[in-house]
Amino acid sequence: MEKYLRIDNNLMAAAMLGIVVLIAFRRLDRSDRLNKVFLITSQIVIFELLLETATCVLNRSMAVWAAPLSTALHVILYSLAPVLTYFWYLLISNWCIPDRKLTHRSHYLFTIPVFINFVITVLSPVYGLVFYIDGTNVYHRGPLFVLSVSIVYFYIAYAFLLVCMHRGKIVKEEYTPMLVFGILPLIGGFVQAHFYGALLMWSSASYSLVVVYIFLQQRMVHIDDLTGAWTRSTFEYCINRRKRQKRYEAFGLIVLDIDELKRINDEHGHFEGDYALRTTVQLIKSVLRKTDIIARTGGDEFLIILDCNTREKIDVTVDRIKDSFRKHNENSNKEYVLDCSIGAELYDSNFESFDQFMHYVDSLMYHNKRRKKYG
């Protein structure tokens, strides 16, 4: 009964996360990178929960095979833990600072703690560094247990810090789940490290993943299903956040409208029109940086926020967009030409309000459209 009371939280957490994973396999797009990482991470956490539960059940068992099996399970449990949190850090880092590319040297340096943890864990059955199993098959923490736990939570804490530091670049629907994901395991790990017998490390991670799944479901709302661009409401939230920032930051705005989309729909069908919309977003994304944002705000209209502070950078991006459309049409076997009209400007203190700025850029786009049509 005492053992069950210790492991019941793990069992419930594993069952709950297992159900969520089964649902996620059916509902989420498994080709999406973020969804893929969520599913892999969830399965690893379930595995860790079951491993931890098994070690608890084997504790104090006098069977001949119990102690060697318990030792092997503890080695796997402690070795795998920082690997999981390291990959979570990579995900958050890429999310918050997508333009920062770590060199191979940086990757190697950042995995040194993982390697150190692996070495002291593998040596533990002999030297009792992280843990040891005594003659009566009772698990004990070793002198380097705190170091191992610190390595595990170093990556979560660092990812949590990145989220806080770069909250201005994160959509509201994404910020809260990422924050919760970091807080719960930190609390669970702190309690487990200070109170022997409490199994909260992996169960708290599983509860965090449930929160992340809820976010992934919400994420489907602020992403346009057809094109993968942001929706208008998400774009407006991003703009409102920029307007509320105490420190003024310039940024570029591009208003883009697909030329003759109605004619494409009328002459070639709505399936071809949908293809034109998807292709447009793909062509634009191919020349944007990961810090730039594209949103579909109307049937054939898109807004792009560029993370820049000079007009020259906007012009370079506009030229790249035009060039991507030109290359596409040269290699396309379609019976129509896919093109767009563009208006672009830098938002700075010269504009009295963002609404005035939007109206101005919109007028630039329509001027470009009329000039292309009538000369």
- pLDDT band with cut points at 50, 70 and 90 for residue 250: confident
Question: What is the C-alpha radius of gyration for the chain, rounded to an integer number of angstroms?
Answer: 26
Using CB atoms within 10 Å of the CB of residue 309, give its burial: 0 to 12 exposed, 13 to 18 middle, 19+ buried. Answer: middle
Distance CA 248, CA 168 (A): 12
Distance CA 53, CA 294 (A): 46
* Segment 173-182 mean pLDDT: 68
Task: Show Cβ contacts of residue 249 under 8 Å, excluding neighbours closer than 6 positions.
Answer: 242, 309
**DSSP symbol at 223:** B
The reply to whether CATH 1.10.10 applies to domain 2-219 is: no
Q: Indicate if 232-374 has the same CATH topology as 2-219.
A: no
pLDDT at position 188 is 73
Is the per-residue pLDDT at 246 higher than 50? no
pLDDT in tens, 255-266: 999 999 999 999
Which three-class secondary structure state does DSSP give residue 230?
strand
pLDDT at position 202 is 78
pLDDT in tens, 86-138: 877 877 776 666 555 667 777 788 899 999 999 999 999 999 999 999 988 88
User: For residues 67-90, b (16+ Cβ closer than 10 Å) or e, as one string?
Assistant: beebbebbbebbbbbbbbbbebbb
Q: Phi, psi at residue 136, to the nearest 5°?
A: -100, 15
CA distances from 305 to 62, 225, 255, 293 (A): 65, 20, 9, 5
**Domain locations along the chain:** 2-219, 232-374
Residue with tokens 């992934």: 216
pLDDT in tens, 17-61: 999 999 988 877 676 667 787 888 889 889 988 988 888 888 888
Tokens describing residue 216: 């992934």
Higher pLDDT, 270 or 7: 270
Taking CB atoms within 8 Å and a gap of at least 24, the contacts of 95-99 are 95/170, 95/174, 95/178, 96/162, 96/163, 96/165, 96/166, 96/169, 96/170, 97/162, 97/166, 98/289, 98/290, 98/291, 99/289, 99/290, 99/291
Cβ atoms 155, 89 nearer than 8 A: yes
CATH class given for the domain over 232-374: alpha beta
pLDDT in tens, 345-366: 998 767 777 888 889 999 999 9
* Segment 313-336 mean pLDDT: 93
pLDDT in tens, 180-230: 767 777 777 677 666 666 667 778 888 888 888 887 776 666 778 788 888
CA 39 to chain centre: 12
